[in-house]
Amino acid sequence: MNIHEYQAKEILRRFGVPIPPGEVATTPAEAEAIATKLGGPVMVKAQVHAGGRGKAGGVKFCKDAATAREKATAILGMQIKGLTVEKVLVTTAADIGTEAYVGIIVDRRTKKAVFMVSAAGGIDIEEVAATTPEKIHYHPVDPRYGLQPFEAQQMGFFLYQDPKQARAAAKIMQQLYAAFLATGCSLAEINPLVVTPTGDVIAVDAKMVIDDNELDRLPAVAALRDESSEEPSEVAARKANLTFIKLDGNVGCVVNGAGLAMATMDLVKYYGGEPANFLDIGGSSNPEKVVNALKIITADPSVKAILFNIFGGITRTDDVANGIVTATKANPLKVPIVIRLTGTNEEIAVKILTENGFSASSDMDEAVQKAVALAKGGKAA
Amino acid sequence: MSVFVTKNTKLLVQGITGRDGSFHAKQMMEYGTQVVAGVTPGKGGQTFENTVPIFNTVAEAVKATGANTSVIYVPPPFAADAMMEAADAGVQLIVCITEGVPVLDMTRVRPYVMEKGARLVGPNCPGLISPADKAKVGIIPGRICTPGPVGVVSRSGTLTYEVVYQLTRAGIGQTTCVGIGGDPINGTNFIDALEAFEKDPATKAVAMMGEIGGTDEQEAADYIKHHMKKPVVGFIAGQTAPPGRRMGHAGAIISGSAGTAAEKIDAFKAAGMGVAQRPKDFVQLIQERLK
């Protein structure tokens, strides 16, 4: 789950990270009022779940409160990478001396949380990583002991020669690591970490991505979710415990398991069709999930044929069959459906389907070819 | 012969009284697996299906029954603790089926299990099955497997079933199928399974199924190139998947590459592996290599 910059900053502030004051606004008037309260020049920053906000014109320097109102008017409602800006952060503009980068990510290769720090921070950090990798220092943290003060200090001195600044950065890294753990992050980054002309080390931008698997046990973090900034169809799918990604084709796919779902999409393409979506109904099944999956798929007018590909393991194919029957009784289908299922409780599933007028195949290639042909308006091969 | 799960597997089921645990414990018993114990805290002293004793703790279960393998069906918030409990009790092979285990939990569980000298498979995996030994640990449907010379290793659950099913229908059996799971931090990886198959005299060829994301498949291809004599056929799911949404700068900095299907398939080709374009293609590619 993504959270906004202003939310990440509120979390980091609680852990002691020095961050310029700021508040979030949803109207130009609010933005002006916050700027007046803060006094002096401010930054108005679009709060959307997309990178490259600055390059898209969603981050502006404002010399006074009147300018803040004007810039907020322009930014609110703006589209950045297909997302509408609903909120802006109005924050005191920091004087920037140098910009560094500090990030932590759960790394699948080392199987640890890994710190990445670089004195060459700012918006071009990925370019720095690609062209001058020696400018980035990597430090995996041993999860049994956590980040030790000396480790943080080593990284602090990698960033700054001035001992006071190195120690200040080390302290921020300890605070960032504590916040990373407590918030259930898979990623946390401060970019840029700024040294002001007076020598203070402060965090000017922050990003956190939360591991979805943490949300059940961290309700306060789960409450930070901003549904207005997500795809509506994906919000509906998540509420139904399904993983759904909308694509451009016309074969609606309902599959169990991410690997098989991707392989099914690949096969649709292999046989000359285009998948309309990625939809994984997941492991442990119940008929309700299938009902919801069909609702989401049939809501898409570009879907010309529906393809079920279910290989039962922990998913019981009879649950899926019952779901199909329940859903289609309530809302009769307007497009053809091709059902392939095999595995756990297959005999019961096939019996349920045939008794209700459906046919089921046990061959994946056959079912995919049939669905592709039907989506093209042809007869089933 | 087979790898990891054999005739000598004495299995205990953590979460045996839950919906999934009880269903699959029964399936494993029907397949022929020696299910010697169940663990559900608070239900110690009861029996499962009138035959399998239930214990409150894994330590008690191991002491009383000599269980050497554990399979975990407990809900995600308790899975990390269950894996550590099994490792602490001296269980040698721990298979965690549970999906949705927080990744930060796994950063602690993995070194803990390794220090105790246990092997972990999963989490978020379908487990293992060795058809010739009639031994199944996990949720892979037994009826789709048959004994034979092919080792199977996969990051995906249901995609594994698909390939095994196609192999079996074509009369090609398996030594052991290993589902390693798709989570970012897990126990056994491709290379561990490949190493075991290379050593197993009964395995004559290996089928390997990967997915987009990460670099595990590329590292496995490198291992195959330098350390394996047996033929390996690979498949990558997600050739048509749209690029995922970006995870801040850190994701791009650390991976250095996107882990695309094309990149992985190139690595397979460079290692001299057969590349299946469809799950079905495994049949012919494996047949050619078994001759």
User: Do the bridges between strand B47-48 and strand B274-275 make them parallel or antiparallel, or are there none, so unpaired?
Assistant: unpaired
Measured distance CA(B46)–CA(A13) in Å, rounded = 51
* CATH number of the domain encompassing residue A284: 3.40.50.261
Which pLDDT value is given to residue A238? Answer: 83
Give the start-to-end residue ranges of the domains of chain B. Answer: 10-121, 127-290
Contact status of A189 with chain B (Cβ, < 8 Å): yes
Q: Do the chains contact at A265 and B241, CB–CB below 8 Å?
A: yes
For A259, the closest of B157, B249, B250 (CB atoms) is B157
| Together in a domain, A337 and A305 | yes
Q: Tens digit of pLDDT for each residue in B42-88?
A: 999 999 999 999 999 999 999 999 999 999 999 999 999 999 999 99
Which pLDDT value is given to residue B252? Answer: 63
Catalytic residues of A: 101, 189
For B241, the closest of A211, A262, A342 (CB atoms) is A262
Average pLDDT of chain B?
A: 93
| Together in a domain, A349 and A242 | yes
Q: Residue B237's pLDDT band (boundaries 50, 70, 90)?
A: very high
Q: Do the chains contact at B157 and A275, CB–CB below 8 Å?
A: no
Q: Do the chains contact at B97 and A314, CB–CB below 8 Å?
A: yes
Q: Do the chains contact at B104 and A103, CB–CB below 8 Å?
A: no
Which of A42, A71, A92 is a domain's end point?
A92
Contact status of B212 with chain A (Cβ, < 8 Å): yes
The arithmetic mean of pLDDT across residues B235-262, rounded, is 70
A10 found inside a domain = no
Q: Tens digit of pLDDT for each residue in B16-42?
A: 999 889 999 999 999 999 999 999 999
| Together in a domain, A179 and A247 | no
Residues 6+ away with beta carbon under 8 Å from A327: A290, A291, A294, A295
A14 found inside a domain = no
Active site residue B249: yes
Using the predicted structure, report yes or no on whether residue B181 has a pLDDT greater than 60. yes
The arithmetic mean of pLDDT across residues A53-75, rounded, is 95
| Together in a domain, A290 and A216 | no
Q: Give me the percent of chain A exceeding a pLDDT of 70.
A: 98
Contact status of A255 with chain B (Cβ, < 8 Å): yes
Q: Do the chains contact at A107 and B277, CB–CB below 8 Å?
A: no
Number of inter-chain CB pairs under 8 A, A vs B: 188
Weakest-pLDDT range from B179-183, B234-238, B240-244, B271-275: B240-244
A30 found inside a domain = yes
Measured distance CA(A230)–CA(B245) in Å, rounded = 12
| Together in a domain, A105 and A208 | yes
Measured distance CA(A275)–CA(A278) in Å, rounded = 8
Q: Tens digit of pLDDT for each residue in A183-221?
A: 999 999 999 999 999 999 999 999 999 999 999 999 999
Q: How far is CA A183 from CA A15, A189, A364, B150, in A?
A: 11, 13, 42, 44
Number of domains in chain A: 3
Q: Residue B248's pLDDT band (boundaries 50, 70, 90)?
A: low
Q: How far apart are the first and last CA of chain A?
A: 42
Cα A376 to its chain centre, rounded Å, is 33
Which pLDDT value is given to residue B243? Answer: 63
Contact status of B281 with chain A (Cβ, < 8 Å): no
Cα B185 to its chain centre, rounded Å, is 13
Residues 6+ away with beta carbon under 8 Å from A307: A251, A252, A253, A254, A264, A268, A337, A338, A340, A367, A368, A371
Measured distance CA(B57)–CA(B54) in Å, rounded = 9
Contact status of A278 with chain B (Cβ, < 8 Å): yes
| Together in a domain, A66 and A103 | no
Which helix (H) or strand (E) element contains residue B288? helix B281-290
Question: Which burial class, exposed, middle or buried, applies to A154 when counting CB atoms under 10 A from its CB (0-12, 13-18, 19+)?
Answer: middle
For A108, the closest of B141, B185, B239 (CB atoms) is B185
Using the predicted structure, report yes or no on whether residue A33 has a pLDDT greater than 90. yes
Q: Tens digit of pLDDT for each residue in A295-326?
A: 999 998 999 999 999 998 778 899 999 999 99
For A284, the closest of B20, B214, B277 (CB atoms) is B20
For A312, the closest of B19, B141, B251 (CB atoms) is B141
Measured distance CA(B168)–CA(B160) in Å, rounded = 12
Using the predicted structure, report yes or no on whether residue A233 has a pLDDT greater than 80. no
* CATH number of the domain encompassing residue A108: 3.30.470.20
Contact status of B20 with chain A (Cβ, < 8 Å): yes
Which pLDDT value is given to residue B251? Answer: 64
CA angle B174, B184, B228 (to 5 degrees): 40
Mutation target for B interface from A265, A266, A369: give the one with most B CBs within 10 A.
Answer: A266
Measured distance CA(B163)–CA(A35) in Å, rounded = 61
Which pLDDT value is given to residue A285? Answer: 66
Nearest CA to B87 out of B117, B54, B128, B121 is that of: B117
Residues 6+ away with beta carbon under 8 Å from A176: A12, A15, A17, A102, A104, A188, A190
SS3 of residue B289 by DSSP: helix
Asked whether A279 and A242 are in contact (CB, 8 A), the reply is: yes
Instruction: Look up residue B190 and give its DSSP letter.
Output: H
Q: Tens digit of pLDDT for each residue in B98-126?
A: 999 999 999 999 999 999 999 999 999 99
Which of A174, A196, A222 is a domain's end point?
A222
Asked whether B218 and B140 are in contact (CB, 8 A), the reply is: no
Q: Tens digit of pLDDT for each residue in A74-85?
A: 999 999 887 889
Q: Do the chains contact at A260 and B156, CB–CB below 8 Å?
A: yes
Complex-level ipTM: 0.89
Q: Residue B240's pLDDT band (boundaries 50, 70, 90)?
A: confident
Contact status of A54 with chain B (Cβ, < 8 Å): no
What backbone phi and psi angles, to 5 degrees, belong to B45?
A: 100, -20
The arithmetic mean of pLDDT across residues A92-103, rounded, is 95
| Together in a domain, A122 and A243 | no
Measured distance CA(A307)–CA(A309) in Å, rounded = 6
A145 found inside a domain = yes
Using the predicted structure, report yes or no on whether residue B246 has a pLDDT greater than 60. no
| Together in a domain, A118 and A186 | yes
Could you tell me the two tokens for A215?
């949300």
| Together in a domain, A120 and A250 | no
Considering the domain B127-290, what is its CATH architecture? 3-Layer(aba) Sandwich (3.40)
Q: Residue A381's pLDDT band (boundaries 50, 70, 90)?
A: very low
Measured distance CA(B92)–CA(A24) in Å, rounded = 53
* CATH number of the domain encompassing residue A41: 3.30.1490.20
Residues 6+ away with beta carbon under 8 Å from B160: A259, B126, B140, B152, B154, B177, B179, B209
Asked whether A245 and A228 are in contact (CB, 8 A), the reply is: no
Measured distance CA(B281)–CA(B274) in Å, rounded = 10
Nearest CA to B164 out of B261, B235, B95 is that of: B235
What are residue A255's DSSP bridge partners? A280, A309
Which pLDDT value is given to residue B254? Answer: 63
Domain that holds residue A62: 21-92
Which pLDDT value is given to residue A123? Answer: 81
Which of A173, A197, A222 is a domain's end point?
A222
| Together in a domain, A309 and A188 | no
A7 found inside a domain = no
DSSP alpha helix (H) spans, B66-142: 76-88, 103-115
What backbone phi and psi angles, to 5 degrees, belong to A260?
A: -65, -35
Radius of gyration from C-alpha coordinates of chain B:
19
A3 found inside a domain = no
A167 found inside a domain = yes
Could you tell me the two tokens for B184?
């970012």
The arithmetic mean of pLDDT across residues A31-42, rounded, is 96
The arithmetic mean of pLDDT across residues A16-20, rounded, is 98
The two counts, helices (H) then strands (E), for chain B are 10, 14
Which pLDDT value is given to residue A379? Answer: 56
Asked whether A243 and A278 are in contact (CB, 8 A), the reply is: yes
The arithmetic mean of pLDDT across residues B234-251, rounded, is 72
Whether domain B10-121 has CATH 3.30.70.20: the reply is no
Average pLDDT of chain A?
A: 92
| Together in a domain, A189 and A74 | no
| Together in a domain, A123 and A166 | yes
